[in-house]
Structure 1
Amino acid sequence: MTQTLENSLNLGEEEQRFYRRGVTWEKFQAIQKAFENVPGVRLFYCERVLEIVTISKPHEAISSLMAALLTKHFEIEEIEFFPSGSYSQILPGIVEYQADLSYCLENDKNRPDLSKSAR
């Protein structure tokens, strides 16, 4: 069976998801390279399972609201924070995952203390 993702250039109302089991790390990296210039699509890999997700308008709205709420919380609690955007967490050959929001707390670091996805 063939599955396709509708036009990823237009953020739709619903996310589309494609899963494929049995994908090697090397194959994932090749697929990832093919998608590197395609906006509105994210690839995830965990223990030989590939997930391709289109990013929807509701997803982006939730992500923006989460950022605003976290910022307000940090300000109220007087927590110094450093936004680090969408951070990729990688264990080569095992997992690659990209969070929507990431923050370093108290001081800026190479790896964020908090990563959150709107999924």
Structure 2
Amino acid sequence: MLLELNRLEIPPGQKLLLRDITWSEFEQVLEELGEHRGSKIAYLYPILEIMTPLPEHESTKVFISNFIEILLELSEREFYPLGSTTFKNELMQYGIEPDSCFYIENEAKVRGKERLNLTLDPPPDLALEIDVTSRTHTDIYVQLGVPELWQFAAGNLQVLILEDGVYHSVEFSPHFPQVPIKQFIPQYLRQIKTDGRNKTMKAFREWVKLELEK
């Protein structure tokens, strides 16, 4: 890059937009930024966005990811979590890093893999995006073909299902059709602030058990 990215400082909650970025430049940016960094990227040719999350963003993604893991465990669903893995496709000229993602139906196909090739491997079955100071790039997720996307913004959880190339908001997650997550996950997130993480996760686990027994 003409300007070394490691010399740039992006304050938390802010983003940097780079225009007219080619695929080779995008790959170079990823290499310069490295894997162990605090920023997120989203690339849809020819625009690259680099964003540095706020602490609120980071804690919320961890807590909701914990809730998803509990839901999957109690539903006795095998899963493979890949966190903020970078997904990219040169042929389609896009790249995205979800806040968290999970392989569920396709878990066995990626189990144990350290590197994924989206020309051969399936996309994650469920992805999570936390919108505190930025918006979810649903257009990139459409290109990626993620069947279910959770979007958390302004204290509300939205469950989006991909149908015919468009995301539609639904009331219940197809992965957890018995559990009213849209209403209760925000409630348990608020409870963490007063009761603490461990006590709240225990309460969430007991609530899910009751919902699955209905």
Give the TM bin, normalised by the shorter chain: 0.7 to 0.9
The Cα shift of 1:95 comes to 0.4
Q: Deviations over 1:22-77 (max 9, x none)?
A: 21112222222221166212222112101011122111111111112212222343
Q: Which residue of 1 aligns with 2:9?
A: 5
User: Which is helix-richer, 1 or 2?
Assistant: 2
Instruction: Measure the CA separation in 2 of the matches of 1:35 and 1:91.
Output: 19
Amino acid at match of 1:33: E
Give the Cα–Cα distance (whole angstroms) in 1 for the partners of residues 89 and 35 of structure 2. 23
State the AA in 2 paired with 1:47: Y
CA RMSD of aligned residues (A): 2.3
Please give the TM-score of this superposition, normalised by the length of structure 1: 0.75
My pick for the range that moved more, 75-84 or 92-101, is 75-84
- Give every structure 1 segment of 4 or more consecutive aligned residues whose post-TM-superposition deviation is greater than 6 Å: none
Contact 1:41 1:53 in 2 (8 A): yes
- Partner SS state of residue 71, structure 1: helix
Q: Which residue of 1 aligns with 2:56?
A: 58
Matched residues, number: 110
Name the CA distance, whole Å, in 2 between partners of 1:109 and 1:88.
Answer: 18
Q: Provide the residue aligned with 1:92 in structure 2.
A: 90
Q: Per the alignment, in what secondary structure is the counterpart of residue 130 of structure 2?
A: coil
Change (3 A) 1:37 1:58: same
Select the structure with the greater relative contact order (CA < 8 A; seq sep ≥ 6). Answer: 1
Return 5+ residue gaps in structure 1 as ranges: 8-13
Q: Distance in 2 between matches of 1:45 and 1:58?
A: 24
Is 2:117 the counterpart of 1:113? no
- In structure 2, runs of 5+ residues without a counterpart are 1-7, 111-121, 132-214
Confirm or deny: 8 A CA contact 2:10 2:16 kept in the other structure: no
TM-score by length of 2: 0.45
Q: CA contact under 8 A between 1:20 and 1:49: conserved in structure 2?
A: yes
Q: Which structure has the greater CA radius of gyration?
A: 2
> Are positions 1:102 and 2:101 aligned together?
yes
The one-letter code sitting in structure 2 at the alignment partner of 1:21 is: R
- Contact conserved, 2:43 with 2:96, CA < 8 A, in 1? yes
Identity value in percent: 24
Quick one: which amino acid aligns to residue 98 of structure 1? E
Counterpart contact for 1:5–1:54, Cα < 8 Å: no
Structure 2 counterpart SS, 1:33? helix
What SS is found at the alignment partner of 1:51?
A: strand
8 Å Cα contact 2:39-2:51 kept in structure 1: yes
Cα offsets for 1:66-117 (capped at 9, x unmatched): 1122122223433222222222221115101111212121543324322222
